[in-house]
Protein backbone atom coordinates (compact mmCIF):
# COMPACT_ATOMS: atom_id res chain seq x y z
CA UNK A 1 0.00 0.00 0.00
CA UNK A 2 2.83 2.42 0.89
CA UNK A 3 4.48 2.01 -2.52
CA UNK A 4 1.19 2.58 -4.32
CA UNK A 5 0.60 5.81 -2.36
CA UNK A 6 4.13 7.09 -3.06
CA UNK A 7 3.76 6.31 -6.78
CA UNK A 8 0.43 8.19 -6.93
CA UNK A 9 1.91 11.15 -5.03
CA UNK A 10 4.95 11.24 -7.33
CA UNK A 11 2.80 11.21 -10.49
CA UNK A 12 0.54 13.94 -9.07
CA UNK A 13 3.40 16.17 -7.90
CA UNK A 14 5.28 15.84 -11.21
CA UNK A 15 2.21 16.52 -13.35
CA UNK A 16 1.23 19.48 -11.17
CA UNK A 17 4.73 20.96 -11.36
CA UNK A 18 5.11 20.71 -15.13
CA UNK A 19 1.76 22.42 -15.62
CA UNK A 20 2.95 25.34 -13.50
CA UNK A 21 1.39 24.44 -10.16
CA UNK A 22 4.56 23.87 -8.15
CA UNK A 23 2.89 23.91 -4.72
CA UNK A 24 2.37 20.14 -4.37
CA UNK A 25 5.94 19.32 -5.43
CA UNK A 26 7.36 22.10 -3.25
CA UNK A 27 5.57 20.77 -0.16
CA UNK A 28 7.16 17.36 -0.77
CA UNK A 29 10.73 18.76 -0.93
CA UNK A 30 13.13 18.81 1.99
CA UNK A 31 14.67 22.24 2.59
CA UNK A 32 18.09 20.91 1.54
CA UNK A 33 16.86 18.88 -1.45
CA UNK A 34 19.61 18.05 -3.95
CA UNK A 35 18.75 18.30 -7.64
CA UNK A 36 20.94 17.31 -10.56
CA UNK A 37 20.20 17.88 -14.24
CA UNK A 38 23.24 16.87 -16.32
CA UNK A 39 24.78 18.45 -19.36
CA UNK A 40 26.13 21.76 -20.57
CA UNK A 41 22.89 23.48 -21.58
CA UNK A 42 21.33 26.37 -19.69
CA UNK A 43 19.12 23.73 -18.01
CA UNK A 44 22.10 21.96 -16.45
CA UNK A 45 21.93 22.27 -12.68
CA UNK A 46 23.32 20.95 -9.46
CA UNK A 47 21.32 22.58 -6.68
CA UNK A 48 21.20 22.04 -2.94
CA UNK A 49 18.20 24.06 -1.77
CA UNK A 50 14.45 24.03 -2.21
CA UNK A 51 14.29 27.58 -3.70
CA UNK A 52 16.92 26.67 -6.33
CA UNK A 53 15.05 23.53 -7.36
CA UNK A 54 11.70 25.35 -7.43
CA UNK A 55 13.20 28.04 -9.69
CA UNK A 56 14.44 25.35 -12.08
CA UNK A 57 11.03 23.63 -12.16
CA UNK A 58 9.24 26.95 -12.74
CA UNK A 59 11.53 27.76 -15.68
CA UNK A 60 10.91 24.33 -17.21
CA UNK A 61 7.13 24.56 -16.63
CA UNK A 62 7.05 27.98 -18.35
CA UNK A 63 7.94 26.18 -21.59
CA UNK A 64 4.60 24.33 -21.36
CA UNK A 65 6.05 20.85 -21.93
CA UNK A 66 3.97 17.83 -22.77
CA UNK A 67 5.35 15.64 -20.01
CA UNK A 68 4.24 12.05 -19.77
CA UNK A 69 5.05 9.80 -16.83
CA UNK A 70 5.28 6.35 -18.41
CA UNK A 71 6.06 4.27 -15.32
CA UNK A 72 6.84 4.71 -11.63
CA UNK A 73 8.71 2.16 -9.53
CA UNK A 74 8.91 2.56 -5.76
CA UNK A 75 11.07 0.56 -3.39
CA UNK A 76 12.37 0.80 0.14
CA UNK A 77 10.97 1.70 3.54
CA UNK A 78 9.63 5.19 4.44
CA UNK A 79 13.00 6.31 5.82
CA UNK A 80 14.87 5.30 2.62
CA UNK A 81 12.45 5.30 -0.32
CA UNK A 82 13.73 5.22 -3.88
CA UNK A 83 11.53 6.13 -6.83
CA UNK A 84 12.32 5.62 -10.50
CA UNK A 85 10.18 7.52 -13.00
CA UNK A 86 10.28 6.72 -16.71
CA UNK A 87 9.23 9.77 -18.72
CA UNK A 88 8.91 11.38 -22.10
CA UNK A 89 8.64 15.07 -22.75
CA UNK A 90 7.95 17.25 -25.74
CA UNK A 91 7.95 20.99 -26.25
CA UNK A 92 6.02 21.86 -29.40
CA UNK A 93 7.50 20.36 -32.53
CA UNK A 94 10.97 21.56 -31.56
CA UNK A 95 11.99 19.12 -28.84
CA UNK A 96 11.26 15.62 -27.59
CA UNK A 97 13.19 13.35 -25.29
CA UNK A 98 12.86 10.30 -23.08
CA UNK A 99 14.55 9.63 -19.81
CA UNK A 100 14.40 8.74 -16.15
CA UNK A 101 14.21 10.55 -12.85
CA UNK A 102 15.72 8.91 -9.79
CA UNK A 103 14.24 10.24 -6.55
CA UNK A 104 15.22 9.56 -2.97
CA UNK A 105 12.74 10.25 -0.21
CA UNK A 106 12.86 10.16 3.56
CA UNK A 107 9.61 10.11 5.53
CA UNK A 108 7.64 11.52 2.60
CA UNK A 109 10.10 14.32 1.79
CA UNK A 110 12.12 14.46 -1.42
CA UNK A 111 15.80 14.61 -0.46
CA UNK A 112 17.35 14.20 -3.91
CA UNK A 113 16.49 13.97 -7.58
CA UNK A 114 18.72 13.09 -10.51
CA UNK A 115 17.55 13.34 -14.10
CA UNK A 116 18.90 11.01 -16.80
CA UNK A 117 18.13 11.82 -20.44
CA UNK A 118 19.75 12.65 -23.77
CA UNK A 119 21.53 15.87 -22.81
CA UNK A 120 22.54 16.57 -26.41
CA UNK A 121 18.86 16.94 -27.35
CA UNK A 122 18.49 19.47 -24.53
CA UNK A 123 21.58 21.39 -25.69
CA UNK A 124 20.30 21.47 -29.29
CA UNK A 125 16.92 22.80 -28.10
CA UNK A 126 18.72 25.41 -25.99
CA UNK A 127 20.78 26.56 -29.00
CA UNK A 128 17.68 26.84 -31.21
CA UNK A 129 15.90 28.89 -28.55
CA UNK A 130 18.90 31.22 -28.24
CA UNK A 131 19.00 31.69 -32.01
CA UNK A 132 15.28 32.51 -32.12
CA UNK A 133 15.64 35.00 -29.24
CA UNK A 134 18.60 36.67 -30.97
CA UNK A 135 16.67 36.93 -34.26
CA UNK A 136 13.67 38.48 -32.50
CA UNK A 137 15.95 40.99 -30.73
CA UNK A 138 17.50 42.03 -34.07
CA UNK A 139 14.12 42.52 -35.72
Task: Determine the pLDDT at residue 139.
Answer: 66
Q: What is the per-residue burial (b if ≥16 Cβ within 10 Å, else e) of 12-49? A: ebbebbbeeebeebbebbbeebbbebebebebbbebee
CATH of the domain at 52: 3.10.450.50
Task: Determine the pLDDT at residue 131.
Answer: 76
Residues with pLDDT less than 70, the chain: 132-133, 135-136, 139
Read off the pLDDT of residues 30-61 as tens digits, 9 standing for 90 and up: 999 999 999 999 999 999 999 999 999 999 99
- Number of structural domains (the chain) is 1
The pTM score is: 0.88
Task: Determine the pLDDT at residue 110.
Answer: 97
> Which residue range forms the structural domain that includes residue 105?
2-138
Amino acid sequence: MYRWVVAKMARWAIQSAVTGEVGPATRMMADDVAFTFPGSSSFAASTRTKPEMVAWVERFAALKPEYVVRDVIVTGPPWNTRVAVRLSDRIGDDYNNEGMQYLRMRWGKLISEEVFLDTEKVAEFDRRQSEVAAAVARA
